[in-house]
Structures are given as structure tokens and as C-alpha cells.
């Protein structure tokens, strides 16, 4: 199951920084169970929003050179507040270091200027064809789809 946890990219500075938003609505499917009488965005979903924004920054920074950008490690994750329906989580991620297929980022999420979470993320980037040359066409298709999705997020 895939949840797109980025509604809009406000600022995108390739190689440097991204600012993205996620407006939480009571219609979010996962809120029906988390929690029925006190709906809040699960911490793991908040972390995933930081990861997705970071992945968009990496893709844009390298002009979509890799079809896959995934979380390898989340360090020093600190949660401070809940995100409730009607609130907008503002995500800021900055590239700290790049080496071979890994990118380290500093990321944080806030609501109305108050910190909700922060983390140091390490994302891994690669192409499917790196290990299976027959997957080159799949890489091309994934990259094309991601380019289109970015156009919708960053207008």
C-alpha cells in the first residue's frame, strides 16, 4: 500500500533544500483506526512524509538519475507534537552529505511554526538495471512517472 504524504512542494532548491506540505484531512484512511476518538497522524506516517520530501529533493538534485530512492536509515528521530486533522505539516529537508549511492539529510516537520518531529535520514538511490540489466525499461518508466508526479506537486 502506498500513501502519498506530500500534497505540495513549496520550495525546491536542487542540491540543497526542499519545503513541502501535507494537509491532514479527517478523510485520511488510516485515521479511522488511529485513533477512533482522537485522530492523529501516526508517527511512522510523519516520518514517511519527511522521507518522501527528501526523496523528491534527491530526484530533482540529480535530474532523476535513479529510479529508486528509499529510506535506508532514520537516526535521532524525535517527536514533539501530534498532527491532527485540519492542520498542515510543513516539511523541510536539507542535504547534509552525499557519497556514492547514499544521501544524508536533516529533516524536520512543523505545524504553525512549532516543531513536531525531526530526524537525520539516510536514503539510498539506485536503478533496478544496476543488478538486472533487463530492468532498464522499467527504470525509464519509473523515472518518467516520477517526473510527471513532480510536475503536479511543484507548480
Please give the CATH architecture assigned to the domain spanning 8-153: Roll (3.10)
Would you write out the chain's pLDDT as a tens digit for each of its 155 residues? 578 999 999 999 999 999 999 999 988 888 888 787 889 999 999 999 999 999 999 999 999 999 999 999 999 999 999 999 999 999 999 999 999 999 999 999 999 999 999 999 999 999 999 999 999 999 999 999 999 999 999 98
**C-alpha grid cell for residue 82?**
501530534
Q: Which three cell numbers stand for residue 129?
A: 538495471
In angstroms, the CA 94 to CA 114 distance is 18
Q: Which helix (H) or strand (E) holds 105?
A: strand 102-111
The residues annotated as belonging to the active site are 34
Selection from 94, 107, 87, 98 nearest residue 41 by Cα: 87
Helices (H), 7-121: 43-61
Amino acid at each position: 500500500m502506498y500513501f502519498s504524504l506530500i500534497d505540495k512542494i513549496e520550495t525546491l532548491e536542487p542540491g540543497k533544500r526542499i519545503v513541502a506540505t501535507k494537509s491532514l484531512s479527517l478523510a485520511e484512511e488510516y485515521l479511522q483506526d488511529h485513533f477512533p476518538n482522537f485522530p492523529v497522524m501516526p508517527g511512522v506516517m510523519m516520518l514517511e512524509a519527511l522521507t518522501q520530501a527528501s526523496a523528491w529533493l534527491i530526484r530533482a538534485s540529480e535530474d532523476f538519475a535513479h529510479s529508486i530512492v528509499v529510506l535506508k536509515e532514520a537516526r535521532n528521530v524525535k517527536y514533539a507534537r501530534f498532527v491532527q486533522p485540519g492542520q498542515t505539516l510543513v516539511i523541510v529537508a536539507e542535504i547534509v552529505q552525499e557519497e556514492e549511492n547514499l544521501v544524508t539529510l536533516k529533516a524536520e516537520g512543523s505545524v504553525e511554526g512549532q516543531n513536531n518531529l525531526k530526524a537525520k535520514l539516510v536514503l539510498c538511490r539506485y536503478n533496478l538495471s544496476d543488478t538486472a540489466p533487463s530492468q532498464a525499461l522499467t527504470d525509464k518508466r519509473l523515472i518518467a512517472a516520477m517526473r510527471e508526479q513532480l510536475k503536479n506537486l511543484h507548480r
